[in-house]
Amino acid sequence: MPRFKLTIEYEGTRYSGWQVQKNARTVQGEIIGAIKKVFSTNDFDFQGAGRTDSGVHALNQVAHLEIKTTLSTEKIKFALNDNLPSDINILSVEKVSANFHARKDAKYRSYLYIISQRRTALAKKYVWWIKDELDLKKMDYTSKHFIGMKDFRSFAELDKEENSTLVKIDEIQMKKEGSLILVRIVGTHFLWKMVRRMIGVLVEIGRGNLSESDLINFLEMKSKMPSQFTAPPSGLYLEKIFYTEKYQLSELTSWIKL
């Protein structure tokens, strides 16, 4: 059967994450429903490049769809979008090799987190408002301890689907843009709640409540403390999936202007 690569954006506020769950509304579940309506079949394979937590957004999630069809890629995109809610949008559909696998072939993933330093009425669902003063230089410097192959057991929620808590973080970028603080994290993969706890610990360092040595200790030995600082999902975005070892990042910027 033909296989297609779908690039998808979604606003995750109304969903219990990406992955299909019983008795919960999910992004994958909504798209599967649209696929069934458009193609009138249950004979297909639809898998995403990675899971996102409840309430987390995506700018460029990737999934593959294997299904028997003669429709063009453009017609598939328009037909699916016509059957999806407004907070889920198929950006593109490409025909790919039958061997392409959205999750297994992914080499790196990048996440973006947006912190607002002013109260906002319009962007509340898309940022984490922090009214405290943050030491951005200290946060940026300390974040470099995350880079490399590290054990993130202190930053991950127990997940039966994960066999290891070792993750390679390739790059971390931090930037102030107006009233916003942008944090980009690039890694091979990410554990459940890992990014939100990384951000939460960095914010506590920026507030002066935690130190550089605290972060080092969290990486060297298991601690439950990072779970106390889990950042809200509202400011987190799955930014991009990379399928080559060498990748090029776009400029770190936000479409939200505060």
CB atoms within 10 A of CB 174: 18
CB atoms within 10 A of CB 86: 7
Tell me the C-alpha distance between 11 and 214, whole Å.
34
| The pair of three-digit structure tokens given for residue 118, joined into one six-digit string | 């002013």
Counted domains in the chain: 2
78 in the same domain as 180 = no
Q: Classify burial at 93, counting beta carbons within 10 Å of its beta carbon; exposed 0-12, middle 13-18, buried 19 or more.
A: buried
68 in the same domain as 41 = yes
Catalytic residues: 53
* Domain annotation covers residue 248: no
* Domain annotation covers residue 18: yes
Tell me the C-alpha distance between 190 and 187, whole Å.
7
Within 51-98, residue ranges assigned H as helices are 73-82
Beta strand ranges found along 23-105 (DSSP E): 44-48, 57-67, 88-96
Tell me the C-alpha distance between 220 and 151, whole Å.
8
* Domain annotation covers residue 199: yes
Give me the domain span that covers residue 78: 3-96
* Strand, helix or coil for residue 114: strand
Task: Report if pTM > 0.75.
Answer: yes
Contact 76, 2 (CB under 8 A): no
157 in the same domain as 70 = no
Contact 60, 94 (CB under 8 A): no
First to last CA, the chain: 47
CATH of the domain at 26: 3.30.70.580
* Domain annotation covers residue 55: yes
| The pair of three-digit structure tokens given for residue 48, joined into one six-digit string | 């995403």
CB atoms within 10 A of CB 88: 22
Tell me the C-alpha distance between 209 and 196, whole Å.
17
Cα angle 159, 241, 60 (rounded to 5 degrees) comes to 100
> Which residues is 67 bridged to in the sheet?
44
* Domain annotation covers residue 249: no
- Identify the pLDDT of residue 160: 65
Contact 197, 170 (CB under 8 A): no
Local confidence pLDDT in tens for the 258 residues of the chain: 899 999 999 999 999 999 999 899 999 999 999 999 999 999 999 999 999 999 999 999 999 999 999 999 999 999 999 999 999 999 999 999 999 999 999 999 999 999 999 999 999 999 999 999 999 999 999 999 999 999 999 999 877 667 799 999 999 999 999 999 999 999 999 999 999 999 999 999 999 999 999 999 999 999 999 999 999 999 999 999 999 999 989 999 988 888
178 in the same domain as 54 = no
85 in the same domain as 194 = no
